[in-house]
Chain A
């Protein structure tokens, strides 16, 4: 129901290592995403966040999701029982990829599968947008 709002158009950028690493060492990239749902949801019920960039699926193991300052490996979300992704909250999806992405525009797709208790079929949604990589 909020599929078109999953991918946030700004905030798509390369990232550098926190702390120790040499400055300007690009270790990946990130973008802002939202739940396509009319309420917040416990993270254990976010079954999948499938990211595809320029036609290539990104392995879930490379993904980290940050909600209100708390970061979780996407592959481990099924074990997070005490935190929620709030309705409309822009979470940061961070991708570990040394070197990040080349500048310019990229075709980005995000598909989410949500385990909604009152629905007999999987919930979720998907969105695709062409995003401009912004300079840090």
Chain B
């Protein structure tokens, strides 16, 4: 493995099941990450910071005190834009910029530098918010989330703004859910438990795994007699995508944070559907120096039948990262 400066962290999105059920609080999430050795912290303020957007000084003091206690570093926060806050009308561009400004202030107080701009953030809003992000020394990074990719018209519109402005405050935050090579089996198993028809589930998985045409898959499954379970799974097959990870190389100057999405770390220590062994060498080759930030999203597919253990899943993902990054002390 070539020399690299890639760092490891966790998005607390990963711990949503435990947080939702009150089994982990913010401090518990920080401690769990530190125990795993994933020291870069990503938080979704709207998820865990009570009273958002009005966060108290006491919270920020506590937050930084936790960072000191556990040896962690605030790295990223994720923003949303409620364009549909008001019934019957959308927020104007100015209102959306204002919403981003509010989140930039929160990010600044948290001490993070990378801000996830949700995929629906319009290019005009990125442009409008860039000056404030620059002033604060922050980066506003559009998530490149499946089914989007770097040649998609929506992303091209964003690229146009980035190329034109050349602002150090704008860039991308790729979500590794754009590199789903195999259909996640936790999704198939869930559909099976719900009573999905085996032949239709097979058709969906085989079409996806062959990287076949999924555009008409929902319709096809419906024509073959599928109901909500089968068409729902077919729809999911259109929301995962497989791209060659090398598609990031042309955009490396704009990539400053990675959301390391995953659905299932198996007992063998690999992600069932996302080939990190193909992704990480590309990041090393591209000279990426930011964080791999775990984003576990398997809970929703197994919670009907199994106890969710997000911490163990994240632990396994980081063991894999250590192996692939060549920093596993056992093999170094």
Contacts and interface: CB of A to CB of B under 8 A. Distances in A.
Given A39-B47, A40-B47, A78-B87, A5 B118 contact: no
B85 A42 contact: yes
B229 to A, nearest CB: 14
Given A38-B13, A39-B47, A45-B85, A117 B19 contact: no
B27 interface: no
B81 A4 contact: no
Interface string A23-56: 0000000000010001110101101000000000
A39 B300 contact: no
B60 interface: no
Interface in B33-90: 44, 46-48, 50, 52, 80-87
A81 B303 CA distance: 32
B21 interface: yes
Contacts of B20: 2, 5, 34, 38, 87-88
Question: Which residue of B19, B22, B46 has the most chain A CB atoms within 10 A of its CB atom?
Answer: B46
Interface size band for A: 20 to 34
A71 to B, nearest CB: 18
A48 B47 CA distance: 21
Query: Dominant SS at the B interface?
Result: loop
B166 interface: no
Contacts of A4: 303-304
B85 A44 contact: yes
A42 B85 CA distance: 7
Query: Dominant SS at the A interface?
Result: loop
A81 B50 contact: no
Contacts of A1: 299-300
B246 to A, nearest CB: 28
Contacts of A115: 84, 87
B82 A39 contact: no
B27 to A, nearest CB: 16
Given A81-B85, A81-B86, A115-B84, A88 B50 contact: no
A45 B19 contact: no
Nearest to B300: A1
A125 to B, nearest CB: 11
A84 interface: yes
A117 B82 contact: yes
Contacts of A44: 85-87
B16 interface: yes
11 contacts: A4-B304, A38-B20, A40-B46, A44-B85, A44-B86, A47-B87, A78-B87, A86-B50, A115-B87, A117-B82, A118-B119
Which 8 pairs, one residue from A and one from B, show the smallest C-beta to C-beta distance? A88-B20, A118-B120, A1-B300, A39-B46, A39-B47, A117-B83, A117-B84, A78-B87
